[in-house]
Amino acid sequence: MTFDLTTLPPSDRYKLLASLVTPRPIAWVTTVGSEGVVNAAPFSFFNVFGSNPPIVTFAPGNKDKHTPKDTARNIRETGEFVIHLIGEDLAQAMVNTSATLPHGESELAGLNLTTAPSKKISVPRIIEAPVALECTQHTTLEIGSNRLIIGVVHLIHAKDGLINEDLQLDPSLYHPIGRMASPDRYCRSSDQFEISSLD
């Protein structure tokens, strides 16, 4: 089968690409709006793109044609955000924060999660998450109706024991989930294998 994306409507292009380009890591992002409310939402159009400087990119779309999602709006106002990486234990809470709420209402309310101040930015982090990246906005690119937020990572929080003194991750303790076919499918990363490289 072939699919010519120039003739397909954007919703069908999304269905195909979001189902095929998988598994995708999930950025669970906190931001703060001008009212001081902590906003949380997941984004799977997300990855790390370099270490010098250390950059990450994710892509929050619009609520409707003219209104950016709250995450994008808050980052435009403050330039700061925290990206959390999570395992299956927080998957339901993460999905619950994808609800569309009026601007200024926190998705974290009633979720039994705890926030704590970050060290380098004013946006708080969710302490239950095994990893949190304190970020500032570098650039936001608007390409058609896509919005790519490029962030610089300033500080990494990792749960005690996850990473040793040689900066090696303990793979038995870190099992982030991935996003599979949209809208509802996810995968576990607990079944891993090794392949040695030739050099």
Ligand X SMILES: Cc1cc2nc3c(=O)[nH]c(=O)nc-3n(C[C@H](O)[C@H](O)[C@H](O)COP(=O)(O)O)c2cc1C
Binding interface with ligand X (CB under 6 A): 26, 39, 41-45, 59-61, 69-71, 95, 98, 100, 179
In the bound state with ligand X, the residue whose beta carbon lies nearer, of 26 and 83, is: 26
In the bound state with ligand X, the residue whose beta carbon lies nearer, of 68 and 174, is: 68
Shortest distance in whole angstroms from residue 45 CB to ligand X: 3
Shortest distance in whole angstroms from residue 149 CB to ligand X: 10
In the bound state with ligand X, the residue whose beta carbon lies nearer, of 30 and 118, is: 30
| Nearest Cα residue to 40 out of 147, 123, 148 | 123
Q: How far apart are CA 141 and CA 71, in angstroms?
A: 15
Give the distance between the most distant pair of CA atoms in the chain: 54
User: Token digits for 167?
Assistant: 């900066």
Query: Which residues are registered as beta bridge partners of 179?
Result: 24, 186
Shortest distance in whole angstroms from residue 135 CB to ligand X: 15
User: Token digits for 30?
Assistant: 């906190």
Shortest distance in whole angstroms from residue 24 CB to ligand X: 8
Q: How far apart are CA 174 and CA 131, in angstroms?
A: 9
Shortest distance in whole angstroms from residue 93 CB to ligand X: 11
In the bound state with ligand X, the residue whose beta carbon lies nearer, of 98 and 114, is: 98
User: Token digits for 45?
Assistant: 């159009």
In the bound state with ligand X, the residue whose beta carbon lies nearer, of 28 and 174, is: 28
Residue pair 60/71 in contact (Cβ under 8 Å)? The answer is yes
